[in-house]
Structures are given as structure tokens and as C-alpha cells.
Structure 1
């Protein structure tokens, strides 16, 4: 497969402006082109997958089983440390598993976590560089828990020769990490690949990797397997180039593009971390993500999970399910509990859809130019249901009369621990939410309420325990009505 050369680069600051403008009927604001409606069979595949559906991540859990230790490429952002339970980043695990141990763990988690809908293999190396244990694990889980979806993440080097087997096993979600389609860019990210027993270095290795990735993507699409492409944004290396990556992978049939920030803290021990390569700012990440939109689906809710992650996104419970802590007896079949949870979610979805429709109807009179950026504290379930002081992250949305559009999530230190507030952590939270007009929470104390208000951020508790989007739209509608009542003609301002 021939790889197209990248188009001329744009500065990151200009990327958002390069994105396709929003059509008049776009449900979202901020320059996104609304993707075409999904066919029913595709909607069914993603409905309960927390990584492939932004809405599903509020309700459903995933689990990664670490059965694939070896890797066939080197990435400057990767260091697969073993037994680093306090870290949450790709490639990190606390225990490596055999396929039999993986099945035992899957069944134990499934018995305790009725939200579990997906079992995936994401390392700690590359699953397809370890085809024996990877496929044995997938086969064991498919037989023991056929209602759980199977998922796999790969760098794509060995993907083309395994597509048929993945399809035969019923793996209908595959994530491929694609950081470049230009070998010159790729050589700055991937110094070598291991191909047929030898290391291929520099641009030759990057070119080979890209060719294999694109061939694999096309083959996945040809077999009806949904493919998500992960791209790590490395400022000064591939930031501008990722727009071309997005165009290319969409043309080959990728369903979703996930542009993730580089994690490069020195303590991670990666090449980038040790050489001072910085990660992107929140503004830089958002600019590239917006530039990759324009009719495409771009993931905004990724948490860059560990290779042994368990639970809802952002609420990793892997430490609860260490092998030593698993019950000695095989776990009982919990498929009925999972089915009951799916039924409850469907009922909740119908209620959320009705609440959203009602809120949108009330917003019809709002000025088209009005918009606001709003943060939400949520601990799951798609609700505004977390105390401000307990939040370790906030979901951030852009809201206008057409709906609420997820921008991303902002990780913060927990402000309130043991009943005491930490001023330093509060300063960090205020900085993280500095571009937000309001923050919707279940509860907030007097001191942080005053500090938020002083920073120009309105703390809102009136919509506690409501569905997130309906709460956002109700707050936005109330704000528009108050401004209209006092004759205010000023727009809320672009976030």
C-alpha cells in the first residue's frame, strides 16, 4: 500500500480554524460537522461499549486482561513498567496473566460488576505480537461469557495476517494506534520495529509500520469490524500531521478517531519523559481534536487506561481484583445481572431522551450565537451526582441551543479529603476550570462556592442528580431567560 505524503503543516493554534465549518443543522456548536446517522447494526455494536460510545461510558464498564507482555515496536512515549499500581497509563500492569488466570479474573469481575460489557486485550505489550495467549484468552472468554463483547488494541504491525481470525472469533471492535502516515514523522516517534526477526530502524521502520497499519485498517473495515484509531499528540512532532492521519484512516473505514495527549512525566522513564518532550496543553489538544472533526467521530472521553484496567472509565478498580484476592471457587454465572443492568440502562436512556427533547424545545428562543462552556462533576450513571470536593475529574461541555457537546475531561486533585479542604488543590481546580462559565455539582461547600464565584465560575446545585445533558440545557436555558428578562443582549461569548 502506498502512503500519501502529508499536506503542508499548520500551526496548532490555527488547526481549529482549518476544520470544516458546522452546518446550519449541526446539533453541536464550535465548528464540528455532525457525523451521518449510524446504521442500526453499527448502533447496536457500540450501544454498550464505553470506549466506542460517549453515552455508553456513563453506564458500562470495560476490563483489560494483561496476557500480552511482548511488543514488536519501540515507541518514545512507552515504558512498560511492571507492578506500578499507582500509575494509570497504557502499558502499565500490576500482574501479567496466563489465559486461564485471565478467564478466572474475567468471571470474578463479571460477578461483581454488572456494568461489565467489554473484555479487551491491550498489552502490556502488543496483543498480536503474542498471538498464542491472546487468541487462547479470547476463545476462553467467548465460550464462558458470550454476552461480553471482545475487544483488542494493537499497534497494527502484525494486524493484516490476523484479521480473519479476529473476525472468526467474533471480535467486532479493534483499536489501532496510528501516530503518523509520513515516515519522516514516524521515525521521530517509533525508532524501530521488529520485523521477521530483525530490527528495522528509522524511516524504513516507520514506513513499514504505517503500510501494515493502513492495510490492516482496510481489512478490518472489509470484514465489518469497527475500528477505532488512537493517535498520541506529540507537540512539535505530529500535532499538525494528525489532521492528515485522520483523513486517511477515515477514508480506509475507521469508525472513530481518538487523539490523546502525550504523557511524558520524567518519572515514567520514557524517552520523551527523560529528554524533556512536553505533552500538549488542554487548548492544543482541543485544537487538534477539532481540526480532526468535520463529519468524523472524534473520541473525547478517553482516559488512557492501564493494560489491566477494570470498571467504568475514570474509575479504575483493578486493585480490587488481584489474583490473590479472587475467590477460590469459580464465580457463579452473572449473565442475568448483566442483562438486568442493560435493561435498566435502556429505561434510563428513554427518560434521558425525553428530558433532553423537552429542554431543547425550551431553548428554541435562545439566540443562535449564545454559547457557554460548563463543567460537570459526575461519578457515573450519566448524572450530575458528585460533590465538588470529591471530584478527581470534571467533564467539560460546550452548550448552545442545539445541545451539549463534550469537549473532554479535566483531571484534578481531590479538593476535600477527610472533611478538610486543601487550598493548593482548590487552586488547581480553579485553574483547570478557568474557561468555564459554570460547574454543575451535587453539592458544594461555602468556601469553594465563594472561591468559584470569585473566579467567575458559577457553582450550580439546582440540577443535582439529573441527567447530564438535560441538566446542562436546563441551566443554559435559565441563564438565557434571565439575561433576556433584564434586557441583556450580550452573548455569553465563545468558550
Structure 2
């Protein structure tokens, strides 16, 4: 079976040359950390206006704003060895997983209900559980309905890219200015190990032939989006021994074609999920392996370090999922949108963000002014707002910050089971928490009991609640000075 001719030469636009140049440089001012933008000063003002309320495209925004995915697109045209959309656990966060599939009308009902109760909501995304561009009629119908009712919500799609080029013009017409493409390879030899088959132009292709077509279409779609000024985030799954080293080439190639962010995610591989990789025992990377790879990618395309690998029906801030609060059977027919809560929330957040940015700048200035060359990894228990505001025993994850003479930067997160279970099993859970915090020097939380604090200390983990409810950067900078005995010099501008 011969493969179709696939060009990777996309249309260009002279009006988009400035955007494309900015995108190729990461869209940001020079930064030693090279992560997603955290303040208006990190990025071109026009781009900041697009991302400032998008929790996935801006690290700073994810402290304050929520996303919602609606599962209206079940059909898929690419088989991935790490994917099985038939498995669902309500407590699991994994792409492709949903508890209920929706029609466009049902999706509208659900979006209105969430917007009325979750004032942080700023983005509506369609991320499956199949492919949003392949199941295009349902995707477009959903967006058409929602934007008529809630015109200020951002629209976002995630796609494998195979048929993306066919819909770029329509995406632009609908003002969809954020698109995520999953790109795991740029070499078909590597791709053949990840994708058993694709379905393209009414035919199924296998192996290297399939990967070659997929690669060409992904590059074409990325170039077309960049030419139109649509921001793109590239998701790549890190698969040890398969594409982990190859992701350097992926990073380079997507940057050259205008990608705004590169999000490298760990393979989730569990036999219970029924995926090919899970069943053959392909392991996922450790947290330290992930961090090492991301560190080595610095200097290429800007990296997203705050991804939570959301479900295709996720609701809420990154790191939380309130989807089970908004099942269809609990949403009345005829629900109407009430804009008051979202508008009031944005006014409050605008003041909080200004205050946070001033505190962040001061903290980073203090750290950069020290004469130390040491680096620390700090795990922070937080439930949003950019503050140390979560009890250790309630934490389901810890955000990991690196503090060094370069400044303070979010470099990842570690998922854990809650220590406070309301019953037995705390000791076993704490062992899991300790394992998840491998490589961490100090833990910050709003409160911690004496018993877990002592057990963590015996395991070599320092933990303190002395900075509870401070801004994270303020707490980390104070900790850097106090824990290392460094006397801060005058902060630099």
C-alpha cells in the first residue's frame, strides 16, 4: 500500500512574521530558566494578553484560573501505545479518560453550570477522549454553542495533528488562539515504536509509513498555526528507551516551526489501564529522570513545567479535578449563564496578581543578590493563589521549586496520596510520600503535625510550616537565606 503525497509546506502570512519570530525565540525575553512565562515582563505584550488568563500557557495564570474539558470528541484516527480510552477511574488524572461522553447540547449545559459555580473558569478545551480535529463536527458545534452564551471564555483544542491542517482556517475564524499538538517524534523510525497505526484519507497505515505521514501532517499543521498567530503548545510523552533522547530533536524542530511551549510529560504505564506499554511492562520515567531531561532541554523551545496530564473531562484549577461535582444528572435542564461571579472574581484576582508580582520580583531579587552558588529543591503544598496554603496531610501533590543564584522557578510537581485518610494506613501512605519527594531538600506547608514531621526528619526530609500562607516565592527566598545561613545583600533591580 503506497502512502499519499504529503507536503509540509504550509501557507505564510506577512502579517504574522513578527509573531513567528517571537514564537521561534520562545515568545519571551531572554531567561536562564526558559520555562513558561510568569509575568508580563517575560513576554511580548500582545502574547501576554493571549496567555495571561490561560492556566496551561502561563505558569503564573495557573495559580488563579481554571480550565474545563468537555468530552464531546470520542472518535480517534491514531492508535498510541500509551493510550486506552476504555478505562476510567474517577480518581485518576490521565489524558483520554472520561466518566461520561457528551453531545454538544449536553456540553453547553455543563459549561454553563460550571461557569456559574467555578468563578476561576477561563478556558474551555476539547481534548477528546479521541481527537478534537478528527471528530470535528462535534467540536465545532460545541464551540459554536458555548461562545454564543459565554463570549469571554477562551477556546482551546488538543489534537494529534493528523487532520489539523484541514481545520486551521476554521479554528482561526472561531478565534481559537490556543492549540495543543501531541508530537512524540520527528523520526518515523522512532514513531513506529509509538504508533501501531493511523487512519488517514479512508485508509489505515502501519509502522514507519504511518509515522511518516503523521510527522508530515504535524509539521504542516504547526507551521500553518504559527503563520496565523495561533499559539501552540507541543505535548511530548517521555518514554524511557524509546524517545527520551530523541525529544531533543523534537524540541529543536518544533521551536523552528514556531511552537510557543514544549510540554514534556512522563509516560503513565500501568497494566491495569490495558495499554500496550502497560501490558508489556514499559516503565515510565522517575521524577528525577523527568527533571533531568527538562533541565537538559533548557535553551530550546520554552518548557511547560506545571502540566498535570488532565483527564478529557477535567474541571477546576490545575492539580484539582471537580468534574464529579458536575455530572449531567445533577445539572437541571434550562440552566442559564450568570456572569456575576466570574466578573467579580477577575476584579479580585487583578489586585492579588499585582501584589503577587511585586512580592515575586522582590524575592527573586533577594535571591540573585546573595553570594551563594548553592541550589535547593523545595516542595510546596499549595491549593492555589500562589501561596503556601495547604496542610501537609491534605496535599495530593507538591509543586517543586528550584532556588539558586539564577532565581526561583517552578520545575515540576510530585503527585502523592493524602496522608490524612481519616483512618488507618497513614504510615504506608507516608512511605509513598517520602518516595515521591526523592531529591527534595525542604518541604513547605501551611501546617504539619509533630508525628509526620518527625518521621520525615528521620527519612532525611526537612519540613517547615513557618511560612504558612506566604507567597511561595517570598517563602522560598526567606528559606534560602535562613536554611543556608546566607546573609542577603541589597536586592538588585
Deviation larger for 393-402 or 354-363:
354-363
Residues 294 and 33 from structure 1, CA distance in 2 versus in 1: closer, same or farther, beyond 3 angstroms? farther
Q: Write the distance in 2 (CA, Å) between the matches of 1:338 and 1:91.
A: 28
SS at match of 1:416: coil
SS at match of 1:127: coil
Paired position in structure 2 for 1:418: 422
Note if contact 1:262-1:279 (Cα within 8 Å) is conserved in structure 2: yes
Give TM-score scaled by structure 1 length.
0.89
Paired position in structure 2 for 1:393: 397
Paired position in structure 2 for 1:452: 456
SS at match of 2:347: helix
Q: Write the distance in 2 (CA, Å) between the matches of 1:457 and 1:396.
A: 14
Paired position in structure 2 for 1:305: 310
Note if contact 2:288-2:438 (Cα within 8 Å) is conserved in structure 1: no
Q: Which string of whole-angstrom CA distances, capped at 9 and with x for unpartnered residues, describes residues 317-368 of structure 1?
A: 111111001123313322x321222222221111112222333444454224
Q: CA deviation at 1:106?
A: 0.4
Deviation larger for 197-206 or 282-291:
282-291
Structure 1 residue 463 corresponds to structure 2 residue 459: no
Paired position in structure 2 for 1:325: 330
Q: CA deviation at 1:479?
A: 2.6
**Residues matched between the structures, number:** 459
Q: CA deviation at 1:168?
A: 0.2
Note if contact 1:267-1:273 (Cα within 8 Å) is conserved in structure 2: yes
SS at match of 1:139: helix
Note if contact 1:26-1:34 (Cα within 8 Å) is conserved in structure 2: no
State how 1:26-425 maps to structure 2 within 5 Å.
26=31, 28=33, 37-81=42-86, 84-334=89-339, 336-418=340-422, 422-425=426-429
Deviation larger for 411-420 or 183-192:
411-420
Q: Write the distance in 2 (CA, Å) between the matches of 1:453 and 1:175.
A: 41
Q: Which string of whole-angstrom CA distances, capped at 9 and with x for unpartnered residues, describes residues 99-135 of structure 1?
A: 1110010000000000000001000100111111110
SS at match of 2:349: helix
Note if contact 2:184-2:250 (Cα within 8 Å) is conserved in structure 1: yes
Q: Write the distance in 2 (CA, Å) between the matches of 1:84 and 1:425.
A: 20
Q: CA deviation at 1:403?
A: 2.1
Residues 33 and 356 from structure 1, CA distance in 2 versus in 1: closer, same or farther, beyond 3 angstroms? closer
Pairwise CA RMSD = 2.0
Note if contact 2:87-2:273 (Cα within 8 Å) is conserved in structure 1: no
SS at match of 1:410: strand
Q: Write the distance in 2 (CA, Å) between the matches of 1:363 and 1:296.
A: 26
Where does structure 1 lack aligned partners over 5 or more consecutive residues?
Answer: 4-24, 486-495
Note if contact 2:236-2:264 (Cα within 8 Å) is conserved in structure 1: yes
SS at match of 2:133: helix
Q: Write the distance in 1 (CA, Å) between the matches of 2:67 and 2:147.
A: 15
Note if contact 1:412-1:432 (Cα within 8 Å) is conserved in structure 2: yes
Q: CA deviation at 1:396?
A: 0.9
Residues 93 and 326 from structure 1, CA distance in 2 versus in 1: closer, same or farther, beyond 3 angstroms? same
Runs ≥4 residues deviating over 4 A: 25-28, 32-36
Q: Which string of whole-angstrom CA distances, capped at 9 and with x for unpartnered residues, describes residues 66-109 of structure 1?
A: 11111001100000116542332111111111111100100000
Deviation larger for 281-290 or 192-201:
281-290
Q: CA deviation at 1:428?
A: 1.4
Note if contact 1:379-1:385 (Cα within 8 Å) is conserved in structure 2: yes
Q: Write the distance in 2 (CA, Å) between the matches of 1:274 and 1:421.
A: 29
Residues 83 and 271 from structure 1, CA distance in 2 versus in 1: closer, same or farther, beyond 3 angstroms? closer
Note if contact 1:33-1:294 (Cα within 8 Å) is conserved in structure 2: no
Where does structure 2 lack aligned partners over 5 or more consecutive residues?
Answer: 1-5, 9-29, 489-493
Q: CA deviation at 1:373?
A: 0.9
Residues 296 and 226 from structure 1, CA distance in 2 versus in 1: closer, same or farther, beyond 3 angstroms? same
Q: CA deviation at 1:483?
A: 5.2
Q: Write the distance in 2 (CA, Å) between the matches of 1:37 and 1:57.
A: 16
Note if contact 2:367-2:405 (Cα within 8 Å) is conserved in structure 1: yes
Note if contact 2:255-2:300 (Cα within 8 Å) is conserved in structure 1: no
